[in-house]
Structure 1
């Protein structure tokens, strides 16, 4: 028979050794848990530091953008002041008009939207400004007030998926109720093309005002001209036939309904005119804009 005192773990010493081993295991587990917790804390701290850096960078970029905009606004302002000070008695009319149009192009290309509106308004009321330039400045200011700048829409613009199934104008969905639709035609160097686009816009609006669905839905229709001074500036360049809408304002369904309504008109069907749908950011509740800028002679 074996000696009980010699059996492993049988005596007080053996029990003490077992207890010490247990404590060591517990300490190891606690240390491991603390290590994991410390790593998680470090990761969270690193993430918070990275987010703070991104926020600081964003604010710095915003400040830089504001400073840049202020610089360009000041340049445009100075140019307008100088063109208003032209001495007509010493400057040929054609030369003065060229300078005025150059300044208009500068304003359209560089100034921020609020400054564009203000400076176009100033040009439109200038005592010595060429009448044709004053008229274009008025149109440009009114366009920006009503539709807003299209320059910022280029990043968001995308042709939407759309149905090509023809729909009769009399089947216009109720999503267009109380909508105002403005049909724009574009200024262009070729006056024959401008005439074609303007006449198409006038016929289209006249036809739409006459149909029963438009009256029943209390839709309103207008015609306006997109000045070339804006359309030639960066971010514009509208040379196609399109409908512009903002999905964030719930205009997806109304834009599809409007596309079907217009493409079913005699005016557009006679020329087989198709309308693209372009996404924009401008918030214009119950308002859709149509551009007939892709028509030719």
Structure 2
């Protein structure tokens, strides 16, 4: 594959949800050898380090949005760094942190791609708002925010317009979807491959169909947002919201390999690695192994 200049950006934030520890995710992924693995493939890795995440207690508090001020500040910083990376013809690779960081990632990308495609590899749909969320956790809201729904301080990061179109979004691996999210998926006609489809059709058919669907919409960029809880927790125990019955380790490698072969990918993020909940850094190791498959690692 084409050798990339990768801009590696860590976002050590755990304020988008309630379980502490996921802020150490970027460090765990680096410790698992992410940079060395990508360089061995032939890519150039520019490690931008970690953004500064402010003290949530010193920023805006909202009754229905947990740690709103801290999430807005962190995602605003991330948006600028992603914007800068794309301007410099680099491949943004973001390490989380909880999934609220996707608000910043997508807002940075949207400043360059007018018809951005998104593959959301996740057990959850992540499209709640303050009105529909049972928890107030912003890591369950980034897709709603990216489509222009939610608190204005979130939706206005990187500009007031919606960052993605519902028809350019594909969710893969969903198996825990809240009632408000189900209604929104139906209303917007969002393409979802739940675990039922993965089991029934197989991962090859799911990925090929998803990529053709996005090609038909003439997307001008493709972002992968991979939550490690998309995999079954037997492979990724170190996640904050594990849901049994997920995608297998081998199916995930296959999905990454098919995505790499498509030559469509322009950015990626790996989120929700929580070393506090992990076993011998297993989840971070899986993240790094999947990065390898995604970015061209080959046995021959």
Query: Do the two structures share a fold, i.e. TM-score over 0.5?
Result: no
Indicate the structure with greater strand content. 2
Indicate the structure with greater helix content. 1
- Which structure's relative contact order is higher, taking Cα pairs within 8 Å and 6+ residues apart? 2
Rg comparison, structure with higher value? 1
Normalised by the size of structure 2, how large is the TM-score? 0.25
Normalised by the size of structure 1, how large is the TM-score? 0.26
